[in-house]
Amino acid sequence: MGISFANPEKLTEIFDGENREEWQKTSYIINKLELTPNTVIADVGAGTGYFSNIFSQHLGNGKIYSIDCEPNMVSYLKNRFSDDSFSHVNIIHSLFADPCIPSDVDMVFVANTYRFITDRCTFLNNLFQQVKTQTRLVLVDFKGSHARVSPNKALEEVQQAGFEILNFDLTGCPDHYILTCQKGDS
Ligand SMILES: C[S@@+](CC[C@H](N)C(=O)[O-])C[C@H]1O[C@@H](n2cnc3c(N)ncnc32)[C@H](O)[C@@H]1O
């Protein structure tokens, strides 16, 4: 069943809600990413920009690509990050099965989005072609009863696309798993 992300003004109440840290354990996820000030990160399925906004505070000389396929989200992101203080945040309107990752990206971060991607095989194959061997791909999504795509299924799918698993964290967040992988040399 499809879900609409066409109303960012309404969805921001959930995505950017005050209790987000509580249910998401955002600080744990950010620590886990081990960002450096120079990291170039692609926030795929950025939504209203909750994570992009946090990344923008952590990255000095780094860069954020805030990527989404929903036109209304893209407009919302452009507006949210229009101020000069967000000059290192770049907005990209991607395609459903193509994340459109720029060539300088060090980390592809996909939070609460993987389960909504219908053609995940094509999406992952495109992503694999677009990243460098050392680029990390980090998937964060629901585990347990909320999981449309189970953590093990996600693991299997990224491996099938050719990615090497670096870390599979099933316990650090109350409701989410964090799967970290990379293209690797082989
Ligand atoms: C539940 S929201 C998550 C937003 C944000 N990552 C967060 O955690 O707050 C899912 C977002 O993914 C986007 N999305 C869904 N399928 C996508 C795809 N195939 N490519 C890019 N974005 C997608 C939706 O438009 C929506 O903005």
Q: What's the pLDDT at 2? A: 61
| 117 in contact with ligand 1, CB cutoff 6 A | yes
Please tell me the distance from the alpha carbon of residue 40 to that of residue 127, in angstroms, as a whole number: 16
Please tell me the distance from the alpha carbon of residue 186 to that of residue 135, in angstroms, as a whole number: 14
Nearest CA to ligand 1 atom 22: 45
DSSP state string for 82-128: -SGGGTTEEEEE-BTTB----TT-SEEEEES-GGG-S-HHHHHHHHH
Please tell me the distance from the alpha carbon of residue 156 to that of residue 50, in angstroms, as a whole number: 28
Q: Hey, what are 181's tokens?
A: 């992988």
The ranges assigned to domains in the chain are: 8-14+21-183
Give the pLDDT band of residue 163 (cuts 50, 70, 90): very high
| Strand, helix or coil for residue 135 | coil
Please tell me the distance between residue 139's alpha carbon and the centre of ligand 1 in angstroms.
Answer: 12
CATH topology of domain 8-14+21-183: Rossmann fold (3.40.50)
pLDDT, one tens digit per residue, over 165-184 is 999 999 999 999 999 999 98
Please tell me the distance between residue 45's alpha carbon and the centre of ligand 1 in angstroms.
Answer: 3
Give the pLDDT band of residue 185 (cuts 50, 70, 90): confident
Which runs of E-coded beta strand occur in the chain?
40-44, 63-68, 89-93, 107-111, 136-142, 164-169, 176-182
Q: What's the pLDDT at 18? A: 95
pTM score of the predicted model = 0.97
| 72 in contact with ligand 1, CB cutoff 6 A | no
